[in-house]
Structure 1
Amino acid sequence: MRRPPANHFDEALIGRIVDAATALDDDPACRVILLASEGRHFCAGADFGGGDFAVDHVAAAERLYRRAAQLFDLRTPIVAAVQGTAVGGGLGLACAADFRVAEAATRFVANFGKLGFHQGFGLSVTLPGLIGTQKATDMLLTARRVGGEEAFRIGLADRLAEPGRVRDTARALALEIAASAPLAVRSMRATLRGDLAARVRQALDHELAEQRVHWATKDSAEGIAASLARRAPVFTGE
């Protein structure tokens, strides 16, 4: 991803990632996909201050989720190198990977509650699948920042890199996986994932339906405005 420093995504960017990954998925020479980004941060999710999401939240999310669902159809393992912050939908993108590599300074943030709307990008399935329902509920309801060390401790990060070595450590993990028998790797992965793709698609439909309701509320307008203004939101339950 090359939209530094925040690397906000939209349907076009996720679509390019999906298309590139699908091409690699069909290449027998590719055994692992490394998902990385330029700049200080991994991905800040949707940009509500500009682009498609600023014009029409629902339409933009609907297009985005249709493409994002295709990430879960891939047969090749994905390793995400997560530097800086993975926030909101950016956290969802990181959780779509099989493995996440972080450093102590990395921050994982499910900030949806502070924006006034339901979580998205399939996090209803992927986040509790990684860290358990209780810890996922903690992250979602508090919207707190989870640092790299805690993320590693609770299973949200699979490797904890030395400072400034996230990309190198992610590549090393990818090479470990690539050294295993590729047919066996894909088979084992498919068995362990089971019906994950179908469950994520079902979750995306539900998440979008909830978001559609919340984006029409005063609280959501306040949460997004406060985030753009870098101030604390004041919610009224309306």
Structure 2
Amino acid sequence: MSVVVEDGVGLLEMQRPPANHFDEQLIGEIVDAAFELDADPRCRALVLASQGKHFCAGADFGDGGAFAGDRVAVADRLYRRAVQLFEVKTPIIAAVQGSAVGGGLGLACAADFRVADAATRFVANFARLGFHQGFALSVTLPDIVGRQVAADMLLTGRRVTGEEAHRIGLADRLTEPGGQREAALAWARSIAAAAPLAVRSIRATLRADLAERVRAALDHELAEQKWLWATRDAQEGITASLERRNPVFSGE
């Protein structure tokens, strides 16, 4: 991951193209960089971006991926780092290209705002994989799009286009093709131009008890994931995803 500060804005770029799958290390790097920039008077806003075709495809469940072993232990460590994202004091804008899938959607929703284009896809695909949502989407997604829309996305696992995401409030701004990063940087610079103490105070009020709600949600999500990962449906869902075919679930 790279970190660049310019014009009052810190650009945090994930560098695991094309899919930018995350693990505990990457989430930790993002958190540590954000905390460091919290203390840097040169930085008044953050942009979270990534190299490659997709913003973030979430966890890698394939052979050799971080989640291929003891998923519960890995997820527990990752979630302990992820909750710290919600304790960052500096406003964050996510520049979302390609797809934000599963935990990648959760990472995008940890930001204050999301910028997308029409080709962007937002996917809460957990039910299609056979297990419970994670990365605090139980809290963040309903907060952003409302309970009914969140329920639709989570229960169906369907893809939401950039245009629909903008319409429902999941994408705060919609740009011309490929314009996410520049639009996010411009937006961040406008935040950086405001009074920094006031910005942090206002943001803290708006986010209030979010970190505490996220921490409780992550505990619950992991408990649900633990038993669901042991089911035949989860095995089928993950295998089908890796084989790029439709899953056939048995309810076992």
TM normalised by structure 2 equals: 0.94
User: What CA deviation, in whole Å up to 9, does each residue of 1:29-67 have, x standing for no partner?
Assistant: 110011000000000000000322001111111111000
1:83-98 equivalence runs, <5 A:
83-98=97-112
Q: Within the alignment, does 1:153 sit opposite 2:167 as a pair?
A: yes
The amino acid across from 2:49 in the alignment is A
- Flag the structure with higher strand content: 2
Structure 1 unaligned regions, length at least 5: none
1:171-182 equivalence runs, <5 A:
171-182=185-196
Structure 2 unaligned regions, length at least 5: 1-13
Structure 2 CA distance for aligned equivalents of residues 134 and 28 of structure 1: 40
Alignment correspondent of 2:58: 45
Alignment correspondent of 1:13: 26
Structure 2 CA distance for aligned equivalents of residues 5 and 161 of structure 1: 21
The amino acid across from 1:122 in the alignment is A
Alignment correspondent of 2:8: none
User: What CA deviation, in whole Å up to 9, does each residue of 1:77-135 have, x standing for no partner?
Assistant: 00000000000000000000000000000000000000000000000000000000000
Structure 2 CA distance for aligned equivalents of residues 65 and 26 of structure 1: 23
Q: Secondary structure at the match of 1:52?
A: coil
- Flag the structure with higher helix content: 1
Q: Within the alignment, does 1:55 sit opposite 2:77 as a pair?
A: no
Number of aligned residues: 238
Q: Secondary structure at the match of 2:115?
A: strand
Alignment correspondent of 1:76: 90
Q: Secondary structure at the match of 1:80?
A: strand
Q: Structure 1 vs Structure 2: percent identity of aligned residues?
A: 75
Q: Secondary structure at the match of 2:134?
A: coil
Q: Secondary structure at the match of 1:156?
A: coil
Q: Secondary structure at the match of 1:174?
A: helix
Structure 2 CA distance for aligned equivalents of residues 92 and 26 of structure 1: 25
List structure 1 runs of 4+ shifted beyond 2 angstroms: none
The offset of 1:164, in angstroms, is 1.3
Alignment correspondent of 1:236: 250
Q: Within the alignment, does 1:140 sit opposite 2:167 as a pair?
A: no
